[in-house]
Structure 1
Amino acid sequence: MKQSITYYLTLLVIRLKGIKRNFSQDPIDVSKIRKEDVHHPSGRFFKKYLLQTFKISDSNISEIGVDKNAENLLIFIHGGAFISGPAQHHWDTIIEIAKRTNYKIWMCDYPKAPESQIDKISENIDTIYSSALEKHQADRITIIGDSVGGTLVTALTQRLLIKKVALPNKLILVSPVMDASMSNPDIEHYEQKDPMLSKTGVLSAKKMCAGNIDLKEPMISPLYGTFEGFPKTLLFLAQNDIMYPDGKLAQLKMEKSHVNLKVFDGENMPHIWPFLPVMKEAKTALDKIIDEIKVN
């Protein structure tokens, strides 16, 4: 597949920003990673369509929507290696989704490591979903998560199944981190191709988040949980991403569990490619995400 000029420009920007270098440190430099955080969005769009901000447990929720009376809700669980975020590309993605769908969107700015560990983070995600169910029917809720946001969305769904709580209508997982232990030997091969992430820094961040919990605990590594009974799931994987081999293992487990699954395999794509700005291939992928969100 021939890549666009904007693809190569995006890779150049990634290299110039030193993202992979930052993710090659142990311990990872949390303060440096957090320099890209945007906790309060600015701009004309948000002045008009940021409906309200509120807290659920220790998470800050920004509710965005063109239609303030919309019955459909998109819960957005951002990535950031459990230590940072949301970033500007998350807010830019939300703008596109809000403009083109009849959904309210909850951007969920949840507690981060190392100040908070996965048990507290998971409790927050559970409480957010419980609060959403108080205002919206489960079949009107879609949940999207990128990177560790995909971890949190997947692990939440596994807990909902155990507790027999009504499931959301649909899950959208963008380059999800399925195994925090990073123990898959195939990762070494993909690290050579990955322009963004390195196993060293990612594993450092996961250890900060895990605390005393085993890195293969499904709460932080949903690959080791069950996928039986999952709702319709969209899985966006990137072939030049160290998360790719575990993503393929998760795909296999979902298929064996007969999940209604759509897989978008990004040839030569980097981590979280549908959310990257400028790149033509990202816009095409985001179009697919928005089309799927529209289908309730």
Structure 2
Amino acid sequence: MTSGYAAGAGTVGPSTKDGSRAMRIASRLIGYLPTKRNLNGTDWVNAKYPGRTYPSIAAIPWTFKQTHTIQEKKVDGVRTITVRPLLGATKSHIIYTHGGIYINELGRPHWWIIAELTKRTGAAVTVPLYRLAPESTYHEAYPYLVSVYRDVLRTAAPDDVTLMGDSAGGGLAIAQPWAFSDAGLPRPGRIVAFSPWLDVTATNPEIPKYDAVDPMLSVAGGVQAGLWWAGGDDPRTPLISPACAPDDMLATVPPTRIYQGSRDVCMADATVFRDRAVAAGADVTMKVYPGGFHVFPAFPRLPESREVYADVAAFLGRPPLP
């Protein structure tokens, strides 16, 4: 039995309305945390982020040192980390851009995602620590990400490269090939996005119905963060909001898989992006998991998350684990 359904290449009804029991418990617990209920409006972002001390990322887990090689370098002066599994390595190379509404650093759950990806796929994973808003904007991020991709291509063929990310990082994963093309670089093999944030304006009329059941996200705060990231440009610019890209750009999107929960405000714009990209001729499939909250694959033990990682491994051409 599968708890998700594929949308874009045909739709299959979900097996349960609210997901597995574990998903329901996890969603309830997230709802009790001081997240969404304390993040209404924009006062919290305006008070916390401008003028802050620039944050540090979560430390690399000590277990990585036992099971991976870890390489750190500066690319365009920005710290960039690559981890490679010591056992079961494949030729796949993932470039993983972390989420955090463009204003939050890479956190511990991102390392949980990366650990599961290397375990399931055998891929090397490069983690670009792009500079955050409000200190920086997308203008600085994309030249850096182009340089990271160029560096990865020194040891990996384009078809072996997968762009991946969650939330805001999922939006970056989807938009990066357009920047690569402008730089004269070949298209990467594929894209995988977990709960991607694809339109920072939050003007989709479907958003309120998802906001009513989303236990985690604050829409108003996200819009403010998106404006900082845009740096004064139109926030509907495709490199900021890929769901707003014109059809000719959408047609060039590499084969893409989106993994989305039904209790997530990002679902509304992910659906728009999927529908528009497919209509333009792109290979974009979205798998929706009933009851899934924002970036639920960050909790790899959920039954739905195990399904996601098995599907990602198959997408990258890796046989399932025994």
Q: TM-score, normalising length from structure 1?
A: 0.90
Q: Is the 8 A contact 1:98 1:105 kept in 2?
A: yes
Question: What SS does structure 2 have at the residue aligned with 1:216?
Answer: coil
1:181 equivalent to 2:201? Answer yes
More helix by share: 1
1:15 equivalent to 2:27? Answer no
Q: Is the 8 A contact 1:275 1:286 kept in 2?
A: no
Query: 1:52 is matched with which residue?
Result: 71
Choose which of 141, 150, 155 in structure 1 pairs with 2:161.
141
1:279 equivalent to 2:298? Answer no
Shift of 1:19: 1.9
Q: Is the 8 A contact 2:120 2:309 kept in 1?
A: no
Question: What SS does structure 2 have at the residue aligned with 1:65?
Answer: strand
Choose which of 213, 234, 251 in structure 2 pairs with 1:228.
251
Query: 2:314 is matched with which residue?
Result: 291
Measured in 2, the distance between the counterparts of 1:237 and 1:62 equals: 27
Q: Is the 8 A contact 2:23 2:291 kept in 1?
A: no
Query: 1:4 is matched with which residue?
Result: 20
Question: What SS does structure 1 have at the residue aligned with 2:316?
Answer: helix
Q: Is the 8 A contact 1:54 1:61 kept in 2?
A: yes
CA gap 1:22/1:62 in 2 versus in 1, 3 angstroms = farther
Question: Moved runs in structure 1, 4+ residues, more than 6 A?
Answer: 33-37
Task: For residues 136-176 of structure 1, give each alpha carbon's deviation from its aligned partner in whole angstroms, at most 9, with x where no partner exists.
Answer: 21111111111111111122112334455211111001111
Measured in 1, the distance between the counterparts of 2:120 and 2:302 equals: 19
CA gap 1:204/1:34 in 2 versus in 1, 3 angstroms = farther
Q: Is the 8 A contact 2:170 2:193 kept in 1?
A: yes
Measured in 2, the distance between the counterparts of 1:201 and 1:285 equals: 29
Measured in 2, the distance between the counterparts of 1:13 and 1:103 equals: 32
Range that drifts further, 135-144 or 48-57: 48-57
Across the two proteins, how many residue pairs are aligned to each other? Answer: 295
Measured in 2, the distance between the counterparts of 1:184 and 1:21 equals: 22
Choose which of 199, 210, 219 in structure 1 pairs with 2:230.
210
User: Percent of aligned positions with the same letter in both sequences?
Assistant: 23
**Residue identity matched to 2:308:** A
RMSD between superposed Cα atoms in Å: 2.5
Query: 2:99 is matched with which residue?
Result: 79
Q: TM-score, normalising length from structure 2?
A: 0.83
Alignment of 1:106-125 (within 5 A): 106-125=126-145
Q: Is the 8 A contact 2:116 2:300 kept in 1?
A: no
Question: What SS does structure 1 have at the residue aligned with 2:126?
Answer: strand
Task: For residues 109-160 of structure 1, give each alpha carbon's deviation from its aligned partner in whole angstroms, at most 9, with x where no partner exists.
Answer: 2110111111112222122112212222111111111111111112211233
**Residue identity matched to 2:34:** G
Gaps of 5+ in 2: 1-15
CA gap 1:128/1:195 in 2 versus in 1, 3 angstroms = same
**Residue identity matched to 1:238:** G
1:268 equivalent to 2:254? Answer no
Range that drifts further, 64-73 or 197-206: 64-73
Gaps of 5+ in 1: none
Question: What SS does structure 1 have at the residue aligned with 2:258?
Answer: strand
Q: Is the 8 A contact 1:67 1:102 kept in 2?
A: no
**Residue identity matched to 2:26:** T
Measured in 1, the distance between the counterparts of 2:168 and 2:278 equals: 22
1:131 equivalent to 2:151? Answer yes
